[in-house]
Amino acid sequence: MTRHHDGLRAADLRADYRSDRCDIVGDFYLPALDAAVSYDRAVGYFSASVLAVLGQGLNDFAAGGGTMRIIASPQLTADDVEQIRAGYELRAVLEQAAMRDMEQAAQDPRAASGLDQLGLLIADGRLDIKLAYISSHDRIGIYHEKIGIFRDGQDMVAFKGSANETMPGLVGNFESIEVFRTWEPGDRSRAARISQDFEDLWEDRTDLLRVIDFTAAAHTVIQRCAQPTRRDTELPLLDGALITLPRPENSGRLTIPSELTVRGYQKQAVERWFAAGGRGILRMATGTGKTLTALSAAAQLTRLLHRRGQSLLTVVIAPYQHLVDQWCKDIAWFGVQPLRAYESTRSWYGKASSLLDALALGSAQGGVLVTTNATFAADPMQSILARHRGHLLVIADECHNLGAKRLRQKLPTSAAYRLGLSATPERWFDDQGTAALTDYFGEVVFEMGIGDAIREGALCRYTYTPVLVELDDEEGYLYAEVTEKIAKIIAAEGLSPDTDDDSPLGQLLRRRSNILGHAHAKLPALRREINARRNDWYQLLYCAEGRHPLSYEDGDPHEPTQLQQALALVGTELRMPAAPYTAETKRQERQHLLRQFATGTQLQVLLSMKCLDEGVDVPAARTAYLLASSSNPRQFIQRRGRVLRKAPGKKRADIVDFIVVPPSGASDLQHETERRMVARELARVTEFARLADNEAHTLDILRPLRLRYGLMDT
């Protein structure tokens, strides 16, 4: 056979082939394979024995770097049909049938070389196989279409006809095919349509049909059946040399890395979680290794179930995409390539479905799916979780977020194992949400506070500097007005008012917090504090969200935000290299900023609002300015933990906290309102000062304020 180096046009392919007029294999398949760089085939049946018929033509195709995609339908037996009617998972029955077909084909000596070639192509990432089946109105049926496409990088040849991709289909039966070549004007549109039909099939976009991945399961059968006498994983190349295929991975089972040093308290946390039946919440301070502790627990559980011959699906739920990415890096260290599920459903849904099938069939012993809160709550992910019938572990990072009504109702009740992670699992002003969390995950089974973490050496020591700033008269009046409205709602709704963000009370609480966060006196105070440290690097600056409430009262929503004003102060006035890190900062730019910040020579100050609160790893940070921090303990505890992470050369952190107090002169605030406002601020100050190296000095600064409002015991 002459090799067609000039591509498909030089292969002299005709418009149709029929068994009584030609040799379909010799006249069509082999010349087309010899000229092509890719081969797509969708057929009712596919058998490895057909590859022996294609022989050297496929050898040359594979040796030349050719790629294949195959869509087929397995042969269903009467027992298969009965299993489906009895309620067995249709997808699982189909995969079992396809695996049975391959094992039966392996008994044919003519299929041996074909199986070898399949294994080599799959191992090299150049062959993917999918199964198609009817999924409409409870019909049980197979996909029976027969189409194919050859491509050479420039031209395309599409064909359709009666031949299956089996040995009888190509050499034993009477068959015919029609061929459409893109260089022929009359063929071009039909070739394009067949190609599009294949792509729609491959991406599972065809009505009445479902298409599922089968490559991994097929590889498992091939490795078991192809040349079992060969030693280890060595398979011969077609020229007689040997290559070594990658050894099978641990089939999705998490394993603790040998180089990981698990701290004593982390081991204790895992032990207590197991003692509680595989349910519970770990209350661990930011920076103490919650992620590695959770993965260690998951790895131990995976090993335990594996000994029983059982698999485990682990689902990690994290608030944001960047946290999903961070989890995935750590999971890969534990030996598993996780499936990221966020953004486009198409990018992950099919892979998640395939993972469920692999677990059901036993071709995978475990798997990890990592998703965001938003994707977790959406219908596609909920359908995936509802389909899973095996063991399920749910790990919730920053689990307090899942206490929100719209999220807690979505948590899968089928999960036998549940692990919540948070430095502050209690939900602020939401007793119902907090109760829902403990009802689902269980009680707090282990606690590692910041004080314990500092004593253990997991976090660094710190100094704390409270800076007092006063509300001006207008801010004081607005604060009093909002506080009165809050009191009325609480009085009317009792002890458990609705504090969701969109509720009347939630909006008022947020408005009052904004008054304190945007107090006008903060910027001049910031100028003094940051100017005193203008030669220091590794500085974080937390700003208030949105704009000052009075800017809307005055009808001026275009007033610069606090972050914009602080950036102008730091970057323009003080000429310190600075950059914002906000929700609008693209993911790639975020990573670039964090790398610049870590150098200690490129980016001196990083300004943010909330994006640095949960999960972002900035261990190099040594100074944190809390220009705005709500009275919600979660926020200020997370921000403190963010700057206490240990790093080379870092001995101590410095926290500068801006504390809002009532005007020193006459104001519209009643004394009791002033007293409560100060008490709320002092709750944070007391917590911060308690563990600071300069606790006594901090208490001296606040003593006059405590005396003024009778808060010496606060």
- Could you give the 3-state DSSP secondary structure of residue 341? strand
Q: With bands split at pLDDT 50, 70 and 90, how would you rate the model's confidence at 221? A: low
What architecture is domain 13-237?
2-Layer Sandwich (3.30)
Q: Say whether domain 264-455 belongs to CATH 3.40.50.1950.
A: no
pLDDT, the chain, mean: 81
Q: With bands split at pLDDT 50, 70 and 90, how would you rate the model's confidence at 64? A: confident
Q: What percent of the chain has pLDDT over 70?
A: 77
pLDDT at res. 49? 41
pLDDT at res. 105? 57
Q: With bands split at pLDDT 50, 70 and 90, how would you rate the model's confidence at 411? A: very high
- The predicted-structure confidence for 256-297, as pLDDT tens digits, reads as follows 998 888 889 999 999 999 999 999 999 998 888 899 999 999
Identify whether the C-beta of residue 304 lies closer than 8 Å to the C-beta of residue 274.
no
Rounded to an integer, what is the distance from CA 32 to the centroid of its chain? Answer: 42
Per-residue pLDDT at 656 exceeds 70? yes
Identify whether the C-beta of residue 639 lies closer than 8 Å to the C-beta of residue 624.
yes
- The predicted-structure confidence for 415-442, as pLDDT tens digits, reads as follows 999 999 998 888 866 788 889 999 999 9
Highest mean pLDDT among 5-19, 294-308, 636-650: 294-308
Rg from Cα positions in the chain: 32
pLDDT at res. 167? 40
pLDDT at res. 574? 94
The CATH 3.40.50.300 domain(s) of the chain lie at 264-455, 460-471+520-709
What is the model's pTM? 0.59
- Could you give the 3-state DSSP secondary structure of residue 538? coil
- The predicted-structure confidence for 361-376, as pLDDT tens digits, reads as follows 777 889 999 999 999 9
Per-residue pLDDT at 482 exceeds 80? yes
Q: With bands split at pLDDT 50, 70 and 90, how would you rate the model's confidence at 240? A: very low
Q: What is the mean pLDDT of residues 161-184?
A: 66
The CATH 3.30.870.10 domain(s) of the chain lie at 13-237
Higher pLDDT, 267 or 359: 267
Please report how the helices 112-123 and 90-105 are oriented relative to each other, as an axis angle in degrees rounded to 10.
Answer: 130
Q: Nearest 5°: CA angle at 121, between 120 and 125?
A: 115
Q: Where is average pLDDT lowest: 160-164, 358-362, 481-485, 598-602?
A: 160-164
pLDDT at res. 1? 39
Element containing residue 265 per DSSP (H, E): helix 264-275
Highest mean pLDDT among 31-35, 162-166, 197-201, 613-617: 197-201
CA atoms of 21 and 11, how far apart (whole Å): 18
Q: Give domain 460-471+520-709's CATH superfamily.
A: P-loop containing nucleotide triphosphate hydrolases (3.40.50.300)
CA dist list (Å): 96 to 92, 137, 214, 476: 6, 22, 11, 72
pLDDT at res. 290? 92
- The predicted-structure confidence for 328-355, as pLDDT tens digits, reads as follows 999 999 999 999 999 788 889 888 888 8
